[in-house]
Amino acid sequence: MLNQETLTLMYKDYEVLSFIVDYVNRPKIRIIKELEHFDLAPYGISKDNDSNDMRLLRFFNSRKIAENRWDYDLIIKNTGCRDSFELAFKGHGLSLSNHYWFKRDGEDLKYDDINFFSNKWDDTFARAVLNGKYEELSKCDLNVPDIVTQGWAVKGWIYDNGPKLIKLGIVKDQYEDSLGEVLASRLASRILKEDEVLKYDLVKVNDKYGSICKPLIGIDEELVPLIVVLPNDLYQLFLSRNNNKEKNREFFKRVSEFGMPELYDLFVKISCLRSLCFISDLHFDNICVIRNIKTGKLKPAPIHDLAGAFGTSKTGKEFITKLNKGSYFIIYFLFSFLESSWDYSWYKPTKLEGFEEEIRNIFSKSNFFTPELIEKIIDVYQHQKDALDEISRRN
């Protein structure tokens, strides 16, 4: 095993910087030299910035599998890696979120020939994970998007008439959070515009249900986490706004002054969706913007990562089993941050008519959700919807 390696960070076919990756010691990334096209470095990294090393380390940390994935140890063991950081550098670090990759000395590679937007890859890695055959990872090609894909859920990028991501849930053999993600996507698709939400469909792998979706971006786009774009104090304000109406109002005031009106509208719609679906995973780190790599223009990314909706997270399931009428007000208090001053003209309650049957249909595929529990979830949903309907009417 190598202990250190020198690589070049590439942006498409442009050399951005040379860096050392240390597989043993921390910090693991150190910039050696800014190269000709350093102006194409990841968002937030620029010339004469004293925090470049820290920002670059954050960038690379965002390009590796999560250490709290249920199957993390199985993946690391069967790929022969010391940790997810080493796994991320086993291939070329190509992803379906941006156009950066790693080039080794002497390699004669072109981005157009290897990127995953234009080219099919060997998705044996993903199919081994999705089928629970982790021992097969030792023989897999590691030039795959999976080695730089974050998130807790067991997931895999397959190639089926183009790239698609399948998620089977966060805990072994418990896929309810994926069912919740499909439901939340279907609800959001009824009330939001097509380009405002990522569509998740239901898929079955062997005897397990999961969600399946296409990539968030296209070949000329880059996904940038909002935490990188917004000032840190605004991020801290977002974290502190829970159950605090004054800080919630201050957050929206600051967002409205940021100079990106679409972002303000996005947070309004996210707040309404979070209230309707009582989503646990729709947090700040899962909110992004898309940058057009030709024009530099930013726009909000479609709402995505909807796992845990309708009480399907681990803690949500524990709460739902003990549900009573008093719990409805706790859920409203925890998930509803709605202001009468917002513009609700986009929200059409009639578009949600009959959605209760969608809930019954999807949750009937779960062994956990009994008919009685499903009806309790529907009661909570109707309670939340009634509150949103009322405030939108007043507006």
pLDDT reported for residue 64: 92
Whole-number average pLDDT of the chain: 90
- Which of the residue ranges 40-54, 85-99, 106-120, 128-142 would you say has the lowest mean pLDDT? 40-54
- Name the E strands within the chain: 4-11, 14-22, 29-34, 100-103, 155-159, 163-167, 201-205, 208-213, 221-225, 288-292, 298-300
In the chain, CATH 1.10.1070 sits at 221-394
| Integer Cα distance of 250 and 87 in angstroms | 42
Say yes or no to pLDDT of 9 above 90.
yes
Say which residue the tokens 């009959």 belong to.
354
CATH T-level assignment (fold) for domain 221-394: 1.10.1070
pLDDT reported for residue 27: 64
Q: Are 167 and 154 in contact (CB under 8 A)?
A: yes
Say yes or no to pLDDT of 245 above 90.
no
- One-letter amino acid at 103 equals K
Percentage of the chain modeled with pLDDT above 90: 60
pLDDT tens-place string over residues 279-330: 877 777 788 999 998 888 899 999 999 988 999 988 888 888 888 878 888 8
Q: How many Cα atoms sit within 13 Å of 284 on the Cβ side? A: 17
pLDDT reported for residue 73: 96
Q: Are 91 and 142 in contact (CB under 8 A)?
A: yes
Percentage of the chain modeled with pLDDT above 70: 97
Q: In the 3-class helix/strand/coil scheme, how is 238-251 assigned residue by residue?
A: HHHCCCCHHHHHHH
Q: Are 317 and 287 in contact (CB under 8 A)?
A: no
Task: Please compute the mean of the pLDDT values over residues 157-170 and round it to a whole number.
Answer: 93
| Integer Cα distance of 22 and 34 in angstroms | 18
Q: Are 85 and 58 in contact (CB under 8 A)?
A: no
Task: Please compute the mean of the pLDDT values over residues 86-96 and round it to a whole number.
Answer: 93
| Integer Cα distance of 254 and 256 in angstroms | 5
pLDDT reported for residue 279: 86
